[in-house]
Homo-oligomer: A and B are copies of this chain.
Amino acid sequence: MVFTMTTTSPQGRTELLRPDGSPVRVLVVDDELSITELLSMALRYEGWQIRSAGDGQGAVQTAREFRPDAVVLDMMLPDMDGLAVLGRLRRDLPDVPVLFLTAKDAVEDRIAGLTAGGDDYVTKPFSLEEVVARLRGLIRRSGAADRRSDSVLVVGDLTLDEDSHEVSRAGEGIHLTATEFELLRFLMRNPRRVLSKAQILDRVWSYDFGGQANVVELYISYLRRKIDAGREPMIHTRRGAGYLIKPAAS
């Protein structure tokens, strides 16, 4: 199936659509309600259609009739092993890409071989930006074989490549740390739109982050040094509201 990119979202964001123009469908499987709720909300915000399940049984059943374009699957389910669920899912939907959720320390053993099939995983606790980015990648790549990968975000003379993790402004390469990269990606995916510190914290930092809220200020400061240094600034503060990024020209 070929997914297309359009910029017709009400937010003015780029979003993925199925060939018939209907929204992408994602199935979320996790036994913790708080996680499925969190993910459902974040993914709906992407304009996707979400269905969720709390166990393997439900997952297989829902998948059969919902026919999702991608699945987010917790490896630790009450009724069956993540791999068993995967097997059943694959029987009905042979090509559906799967994003696994796994505990930080359980990573190495059972994930073996899974990323080789084009699937991917994130460790708990994750950040929503990470999940969304990985899902977008999976969905994009699962599409028919003949489309250019549109993995580059552009705002003014600033570009960010999600595949190579390369960032450059006015042609000049810029090195960013992992957190800086995710923050900039979030900003660039929402250009000209004010994002509150709370929103940023919720999206870019993992859901169990317990630190001081001013990390956002700190990382905005880091980004400015690297992105805006000496140039016309692109990152702006809206005092009392948040931050936004926009092309330097306007």
- Which residues of A are at the interface with B, using a C-beta cutoff of 8 A? 6, 8-12, 15, 23, 33, 37-38, 40-42, 44-45, 47, 87, 90, 94-95, 107-108, 111-119, 121, 128, 140-141, 143, 145-149, 163-166, 177-178, 192-194, 196, 198-199, 201-203, 207, 209, 213, 238-241, 244, 246
Copies in the complex: 2
B149 near A42 with CB under 8 A, answer no
B11 near A149 with CB under 8 A, answer yes
A177 vs B241: C-alpha distance when bound (angstroms):
10
Chain B residues whose C-beta falls within 8 Å of the C-beta of A202 in the assembled complex? 112-116
B207 near A38 with CB under 8 A, answer no
B199 near A115 with CB under 8 A, answer yes
Instruction: Tell me which of B37, B116, B196, B239 contacts A128 (CB under 8 A).
Output: B116
A149 vs B115: C-alpha distance when bound (angstroms):
30
A44 vs B164: C-alpha distance when bound (angstroms):
23
Chain B residues whose C-beta falls within 8 Å of the C-beta of A15 in the assembled complex? 145
